[in-house]
Amino acid sequence: MELREITYLSIALRLVVAVLCGGALGLERGLKNRPAGMRTYMLVCVGACLIMLTNQYLFQVTQAGDPMRLGAQVVSGIGFLGAGTIIVTRHNQIKGLTTAAGLWSSAGVGLALGVGFYEAALTAGLAIFVVMTLLQRWDDNLHSKTRAVEIYVELEQGTTVGYFIRGVRQLELEISNIQMEQDAAAENNARGMIATLKAPKRTSHTVLMDKVRQIQGVRYLEEL
């Protein structure tokens, strides 16, 4: 019970474990050069831990007030930090959702550590780490073989969108959600657009993209 009360030993233990858990969770994000890396995750986890330590200390000393009030503010307030990691690319793709979710989860681990709920904090921290690292390859493999794929394509000057659509349909692919790029990103007057391709069955996106590149007039093609 000493480790669950506010003592010098429990304070040191909780903060040290918060640093380790936050660092482990942020390591994978940092290696991928994401907006929030190892230090950010550490700070979030340690900050949440400190807030719960303060909350528990106030309740233990005064024996009054709501012992969960400060923790509730962290749960809602961390969303603002997570929102800062979410960006929309020039092709209207959303990036950073996993990083934002990881920050929110890291704050939860910190809250559990701060209140002395070591079992849940360590178990949840391990689960989050597994999801963010070990399961990524499975997730990437799953998404690389879906029926639908979003692409950005640039057509050579003189190649019409209708010609490209007919070429796609000849490959027995459906095309939808066509969005023409209005900016001048395409060089040499090439026409750029975003579209969704759908295959009749699950197939490798690499194979599908190679087929689309063979259409005459396709200057540049990438998967979004």
Residues 194 and 114: their CA atoms lie apart, in Å, by 47
169 by Cβ neighbours in 10 Å (0-12 / 13-18 / 19+) ranks as exposed
pLDDT tens, per residue, the chain with 224 residues: 567 777 888 888 889 999 988 888 888 777 766 766 788 888 888 989 888 888 888 888 877 767 777 888 887 888 777 777 776 666 566 677 788 888 888 888 998 888 888 888 889 888 888 888 777 777 777 777 778 888 888 888 878 888 888 888 888 888 888 888 766 454 556 778 888 888 888 878 888 888 888 888 888 888 87
Residues 73 and 126: their CA atoms lie apart, in Å, by 24
Check: CB of residue 129 under 8 Å from CB of residue 24: yes
Specify the pLDDT at position 182.
65
The tokens describing 217, both together, are 């007039």
The tokens describing 36, both together, are 């929030």
Q: Which residues pair with 193 in a beta bridge?
A: 153, 180
Specify the pLDDT at position 188.
58
Lookup result for tokens 């093609």: 221
Lookup result for tokens 């070429």: 167
Specify the pLDDT at position 93.
65
Specify the pLDDT at position 184.
47
Specify the pLDDT at position 35.
65
